[in-house]
Amino acid sequence: MADTVPFTSNYTDVSTYDGYQFEFYCRRCGNGHRSAFRPAVTSFGGRIAELGGSLLGGELGSRIQQVGMFAQYGRSSTRGVTNDQRLREAAEDVAEQFHQCRGCTEWVCRQVCWNEPTGLCHQCAAQRLSAASAGVGCPNCGAVGSGRFCGDCGTPLARSVACRSCGADTQGARFCGQCGTPAG
């Protein structure tokens, strides 16, 4: 089974014939982070062969020089197994700079757009906060709902009801925890 590669839609390949490098960016604010540059082995080997061929001279030197030039410039910097491996490595380089919001599934930057206490991006955290004022938060997963059960995990949602005798919050219990009066 293939591994999941994060950042599949928010990166730019800035690789050259000399090596591989990627720039990843936040889907909300556009801030970017570049991965480390990884040299291409074929480019370096091609340069050595091209230089050696030009120093050697003659027909043999000319052929070695051609092989070196092909190795250096004939490879595609955007295709192949090596590029895929370098993309995975680059994603690991910048992984700590991004979080994937479990509300909207967008990759957002840790510095500007991530709300650590809620584990959501700022936009989803604000939506959840406004929804929380209108509904009830699930005690199991934190999702907000207005029915009797959580729409995300199925846990019964406790309704906040004031005791008719003492006014304490019964939190959906059948009896008041403060005075024992039956709810309802």
Q: Compute CA distances 127 → 104, 108, 156, whole Å.
A: 11, 16, 22
* Residue 127 lies in domain: 1-40+75-134
Domain count, the chain: 3
179 and 89 share one domain? no
Q: What is the pLDDT along the chain (184 residues), one digit of tens a residue?
A: 356 666 667 888 888 777 888 899 888 888 888 888 888 766 555 556 555 655 666 676 666 656 655 555 555 544 566 777 888 888 888 888 998 888 888 889 999 999 988 888 888 888 777 655 555 667 676 676 667 787 778 887 766 677 888 888 777 677 888 888 887 6
122 and 86 share one domain? yes
Radius of gyration of the chain measured on its C-alpha atoms: 29
1 and 25 share one domain? yes
Rounded to an integer, what distance in angstroms lies between the CA atom of residue 154 and that of residue 175? 23
CB 122 within 8 A of CB 115: yes
Q: What is the pTM of this model?
A: 0.52
Q: Identify which of 17, 3, 1, 10 has the alpha carbon closest to the alpha carbon of residue 94.
A: 10
Q: What is the pLDDT of residue 114?
A: 92
109 and 30 share one domain? yes
28 and 112 share one domain? yes
19 and 30 share one domain? yes
56 and 110 share one domain? no
User: How far is C-alpha 62 from the chain's CA centre?
Assistant: 48
